């Protein structure tokens, strides 16, 4: 039954059916909650350290605001910056897992709020389109929705920008990226994306839920750059450790 309801319908059903918090399994209070996460667990989500790599958001223990990690120094990705709100572990990993795999799509709005906060903190809104990391058609059919697109739409609304999904497409099904080693990931996503000619001279904010090695963002940014995009940055909810 839950599969066929709208996002709001499913969220309501979860409240009525005394659903539990996706992090602590405790009963979800009526008010003190964010989607299907209780307020206490939401407040405990692990935020990323202030110092992180400008290009891939890898956290660093030092205190240099211009920090760039070793691999980005060697081959900088074609983005002006990448921002992440949190670390992909513990409670945030559970929330993102429910958002991505368990149809808890109503997490899009509160997660977009987190991503908005790091972008506002950076103070760079020089974009004319928000573009989600696309999902291959076959995978979209299997999954039913692209969580990056839901996030991008919610974020675009908050930033007063347009979400344009037609600017970038995934043309090759490179499933199971998470099971591959770093060098295999790069080969796996290489040329997997194609940008529309309409991306030419656009200023684009790429959006995804999680960044791991950054190879996906790199491949998307490269496709957009090849199509003539003028400026690209990336924003994600969480960076893996
Ligand atoms: Zn909880
Ligand atoms: Zn880096």
The model's pLDDT over 171-200, given as tens digits with 9 standing for 90+, comes to: 988 766 666 676 676 667 778 999 999 999
Residue 240: closest CA among 206, 211, 207: 211
CA of 88 from ligand 2 middle (Å) equals 16
Whole-model pTM: value is: 0.89
CA of 93 from ligand 2 middle (Å) equals 21
Tens of pLDDT, residue by residue over 72-114, are 999 999 999 999 999 999 999 999 999 999 999 999 999 999 9
Ligand nearest to the CA of 73: 2
Ordered by start, the domain boundaries in the chain are 1-42, 45-239
CA of 146 from ligand 1 middle (Å) equals 25
Return the pLDDT at 178: 63
Enumerate the H helices of the chain as residue ranges: 7-16, 39-43, 70-74, 90-101, 108-122, 137-143, 147-159, 182-189, 215-226
CA of 28 from ligand 2 middle (Å) equals 38
Asked whether the predicted pLDDT for residue 8 surpasses 80, the reply is no
CATH of segment(s) 45-239: 3.40.50
């Amino acid at each position: 039954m839950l599969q066929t309801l709208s996002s709001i319908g499913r969220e309501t059903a979860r409240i009525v059916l005394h659903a539990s918090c996706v992090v602590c399994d405790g009963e979800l209070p009526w008010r003190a909650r964010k989607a299907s996460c209780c307020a206490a667990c939401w407040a405990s989500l692990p935020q990323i350290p202030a110092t992180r790599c400008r290009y891939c958001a890898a956290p660093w223990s030092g205190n240099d605001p211009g920090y760039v990690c070793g691999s980005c120094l060697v081959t900088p990705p074609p983005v002006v910056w990448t921002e992440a709100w949190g670390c992909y572990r513990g409670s945030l990993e559970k929330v993102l897992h429910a958002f991505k795999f368990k149809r808890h799509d109503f997490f899009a709005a509160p997660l977009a709020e987190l991503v908005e906060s790091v972008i506002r903190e950076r103070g760079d809104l020089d974009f004319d389109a928000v573009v989600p990391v696309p999902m291959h058609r076959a995978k979209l059919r299997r999954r039913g929705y692209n969580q990056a697109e839901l996030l991008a739409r919610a974020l675009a609304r908050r930033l007063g920008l347009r979400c344009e999904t037609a600017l970038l497409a995934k043309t090759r099904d490179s499933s199971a990226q998470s099971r591959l080693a770093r060098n295999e990931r790069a080969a796996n996503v290489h040329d997997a994306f194609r940008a529309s000619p309409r991306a030419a001279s656009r200023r684009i904010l790429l959006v995804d839920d999680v960044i791991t090695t950054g190879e996906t963002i790199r491949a998307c940014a490269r496709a957009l750059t090849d199509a003539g995009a003028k400026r690209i940055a990336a924003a994600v909810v969480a960076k893996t450790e």
